[in-house]
Structures are given as structure tokens and as C-alpha cells.
Amino acid sequence: MANGHAQRKPDSCCFVLFGVTGDLTHRLVMPSLYNLAAANLLPERFCVVGVVRRGMSNETLRESLMEGVRKFATRAVDDAIANRLLECVTAIEADASEPGSFDRMKERLEKLEAARDTGGNRLFYLATPPNAFAPIARQLGRVGLVHQDENGPWRKLIVEKPFGTDLASAKALNDELLSILNEHQIYRIDHYLGKETVQNILVLRFANGMFEPIWNRHHIDHVQIAVDEKLGVGHRGSFYDQTGALRDMVPNHLFQLLSLIAMEPPAKFDAHTVRSEKAEVLAAIQVPNEDEALRNSVRGQYGQGRIGDEIVPAYDATEDVRPDSTTETYAALKLTIDNWRWAGVPFYLRTGKALGLKRTEVAIKFRQAPFAMFECTPVDGLAENYLVIGIEPTEGITLQFNSKVPGPTINISGVEMKFRYKDYFNAEPSTGYETLLYDCMISDNILFQRADGVEAGWRAVEPFLKAWKQAGGKGLEKYPAGSEGPSGAAELLRRDGRSWRKL
């Protein structure tokens, strides 16, 4: 997210992709590289190395990548641009379980870099299952491929999610990576930070003078962060059953939203300052004891149901899911942040799969007018004052407030002021990864997670993970696919005299 500069071309470099035959590369990484190529934002001299386990010709690899580009690039595909990009692709064999293959890869890579004149700048993208992150990084370190001298070419590592499965494993992974690379060389991706509306939270808060004075416990009643998904678990059963909704979504995506909403204003717009403020607010999330964790959380698992025309099988009848699974597909939490700005302001978070609607939004609920001046409408009859940041399906910002209904008497009705991205800006649709890849190539890591931020996120969810593990199936609510989720989620707010914002 370069700060105000005209977009420049990144330095020449070699982009080395582990997991090149996987789904992520197919659906997101290559289509995003294509989108960058079409926007003329790839380096002048560039090469892509697809790391394959077993021999694969360049032609076969290029053909399969081209399929992904055709299907998933969000810009119209121009064959000339796509072919020029695919000509940059070379398949090189390496397998972390066979260390010698990394020595051979190094030799081939250096020759390729010399031939393509990329200046030695290298970016290694780990689009692999998480158990491969550390072994690959170790081999890259051993053969010296990620070694960076002070004034020499840059060497970077992009690590996908999930970054650990709890605090201890995230710490262990951080320690391992930091024994091989410096923090500034590590780019931990969270694709929520690639979303325009998510980036816009910073601009909304800190480029406008009118929100900051009311952005605190004196004016805000509570905050809701909702990430509802229509999709069920599909073919990801084996991953998901060991993961669950909380690990899959909360310490990463939902906490990115929470930290942008709740952080203190950074003194500077640079990676160090912004990421420090984000980590700080995550570290201020109150850590509940086991009873509090159970009282302040709800978990559910979807049963069979209908979403649109489709009958969705129950989660526990899904391929690769244990039939007696107690993994949650829905999680709702009430969190509090222990600092002056937010003391006493609950943050309600929820996320779930196989729900009736797809919706991602942050809703900031302001305190009600303090007394009933208008006789026709009691205070509790007034519409609620919400500022809503819509992330999906509608990208925009909505302010909900009260207005007088035209006529001779004072009658009041809730109305909405709506800003929609598409009404103002004519942006090319994107996958959300373009900014992240581009930023990494220009060495801007504002939109990537730092080690302390990741660990603070895990620390905050760990009490819930532990309490749920302890409780086993007790307290896991079933909800039908296609519904609004478990009734306990509504209860979590109702007992505080609040409710989730309706669509």
C-alpha cells in the first residue's frame, strides 16, 4: 500500500513459487500476477520459478498455469500479455525431504537469474500446506538462497496462512523463521489485508477529522464483526476438521479487522508504527479464565439443510470429517479490550460456514440519544446509530441514523446514508492478492503480519480453544445449513440487551 507514490515498477526479481501446482497458485497467485502484468506493474526483468517435486516440463507447467489465469484473472485476458508472463515461467525440481535437491535448485536458479538479468533479488512464496513452511525455509537457509547482505540484493519469504495452530506452534514457527531470516524479510500473508475496504478502514479513521473524537467508549456502545459464509466445508474436510472456525478465521482475518478498528492512531504511516499499534491493541484483549471463556463464546456445527436450491449435507457427513466430530463450523465471541479507549465496550465477533447469507461487515454501534425529547418516539423506538463498513458482498460504508418523516407532526424513522465504492471509483476488479504481491516486491510490509501481532492473536483466542477442548461436545450447538447459525449467538448479545444488526 505505497503511501501516495505513483505506482512504480518493482525491482527486477525472481519469484520462486513453492506449491505451484496447488489450488492457491491456480486460483489466486498466477491470476494476480497476470492482473499485475496487465496493469504494467511487474518488474522490467522478471522470472517465475515453479518448484515441482518431480520432473515436469516448462510447457506442461505453463499450460496448467494458463488455465488458472483464463479462469480466475479478474481482468479480461489478453493473450499477448499472458504469453509474455508465461514465458517467464521455468519449472525447477526440489523437495524439502531430499536436501540435495535444494543444492541443485540453487545452481539452476543462479544460472536462470544470470540469463534473465534479475539482479539477484528473490522472493520465495510458500503456497504450500503449513507443515512444509519450516522444512522449506530450513533448506533455503542452508543453501544460502535467502541470505541477504546489507547492500546486496533483497531476499524475501512470503508465508501463507495458517501460521501455527496455537500460540506455542506459532511461536515455534516464528522462532524457526527468525533463525533463518530477519523479520523485515518475512511477509506473513493475510488475504483480508488485500481487500480494498479493509485497507480503507485506516483511511476512514485517520484521514478524516470527524470520527476520531467519537471513536471511544464515551460514544461507542459496542462493535460487531461478522463474517458469515454460505459455503460449507466442501472438499477441505481433512484440513477443516483439525482446524475449526475459530482457528481458521478469528486470530487472523477477524483480528485484522478488529485491530484496524481498535488500534490507536499511528504517529506515522509506516510498517513499524502501524504494525506496532495493531499488535498493541491485540495484546490488550482481555484474557478470560475458562469459565469466562465458556460464558462469552458460542460454537456451533451445521447439520443438513438447504442453501438456495442445494441440499447441503451435515458437516459430520462430509468427506474426510470424523462422523463424531466436535469441530465447530461457527464461532461467536464476546471480547473486551483493556485500555482507556475501549474499557467497557464489548466487541462481538462471529463467523460461520453454511449460513443462509454471505456477509462480511464491521458495524460500530453508537450510544443512543440520552433522553426522549420527541414525544412520538421513545428513546428505544429510535433507529440504532450504526456506522457499517461493508466488506462483502457490498463494498462500502453506511451510516444509519434517524430522520423526521415529512409531515406536520414529528415522526421519526431510521434512514441510511450510503457510500458504495462502485458509485465513485471505477476500479478494475481484483483478486485481492495483487496489492499484497506488489507490496512485497516493492518492500512495503505494512499489509503483512509481524511476529508479535500473530502471537498476540493466538494468545487472545487460546483460552477459548482450551475451554472448548475441555468441554468436548458439551455446548456445541447444531444449526441447520442455510440458517442464521446457532441460537446461542443471538443470546450472547440478548443477555447484554443488544442484538446483531440485521441485513
Check: CB of residue 40 under 8 Å from CB of residue 238: no
Q: Where are the alpha helices (DSSP H) in 179-270?
A: 196-206, 237-249, 255-262
Between residues 185 and 431, which has the closer beta carbon with respect to ligand BG6?
431
Shortest spacing between CB 353 and ligand BG6, in angstroms: 7
Shortest spacing between CB 55 and ligand BG6, in angstroms: 31
Residue 66 carries which side chain, given as an amino acid letter?
M
d(CA 292, CA 295): 5
Between residues 220 and 249, which has the closer beta carbon with respect to ligand BG6?
249
Between residues 27 and 418, which has the closer beta carbon with respect to ligand BG6?
27
Residue 396 carries which side chain, given as an amino acid letter?
G
Shortest spacing between CB 162 and ligand BG6, in angstroms: 8
Shortest spacing between CB 391 and ligand BG6, in angstroms: 8
Relative to beta strand 386-392, strand 359-366 is antiparallel
Q: Where are the alpha helices (DSSP H) in 40-191?
A: 58-72, 79-87, 100-116, 133-142, 167-178
Residues forming the site for ligand BG6 (CB under 6 A): 161, 227, 229, 248, 360
Between residues 141 and 232, which has the closer beta carbon with respect to ligand BG6?
232
Between residues 66 and 193, which has the closer beta carbon with respect to ligand BG6?
193
Between residues 25 and 400, which has the closer beta carbon with respect to ligand BG6?
25
Between residues 23 and 496, which has the closer beta carbon with respect to ligand BG6?
23
Shortest spacing between CB 433 and ligand BG6, in angstroms: 11
What are the phi and psi torsion angles at 237 (to 5°)? -50, -45
d(CA 255, CA 445): 18
For 166, 303, 316, 318, 323, the CA distances from 312, given in Å and listed in that order, are 30, 8, 11, 9, 16
Between residues 215 and 315, which has the closer beta carbon with respect to ligand BG6?
315
* Nearest residue to ligand BG6, scored by beta-carbon proximity: 248
**Rg for the chain, CA atoms, rounded:** 24
- CB burial readout 116-145, b (16+ within 10 A) else e: bebbbbbbbbbbbebebbbebbbbbbebeb
Provide the total of helices (H) and of strands (E) in the chain, helices listed first: 16, 17
For 28, 64, 190, 227, 330, the CA distances from 23, given in Å and listed in that order, are 8, 11, 17, 23, 24
Active-site residue, 253 included: yes
Between residues 109 and 363, which has the closer beta carbon with respect to ligand BG6?
363
Shortest spacing between CB 230 and ligand BG6, in angstroms: 10
Shortest spacing between CB 362 and ligand BG6, in angstroms: 13
Cβ neighbour number for residue 175 with a 10 Å cutoff: 11
Between residues 229 and 395, which has the closer beta carbon with respect to ligand BG6?
229
d(CA 21, CA 33): 15
Shortest spacing between CB 442 and ligand BG6, in angstroms: 24
ω into residue 266 within 30 of 0, thus cis? no
Reported as type and span, the H/E element at residue 221 is: strand 220-228
Shortest spacing between CB 248 and ligand BG6, in angstroms: 5
DSSP structural state of residue 213? G
Shortest spacing between CB 447 and ligand BG6, in angstroms: 15
d(CA 228, CA 230): 7
Residue among 5, 184, 253, 272 flagged as catalytic = 253
Relative to beta strand 155-159, strand 186-188 is parallel
Check: CB of residue 43 under 8 Å from CB of residue 142: no
For 264, 425, 437, 482, the CA distances from 206, given in Å and listed in that order, are 10, 20, 25, 38
Task: Name the β-bridge partners of 303.
Answer: 480
What residues are annotated to the active site? Answer: 253
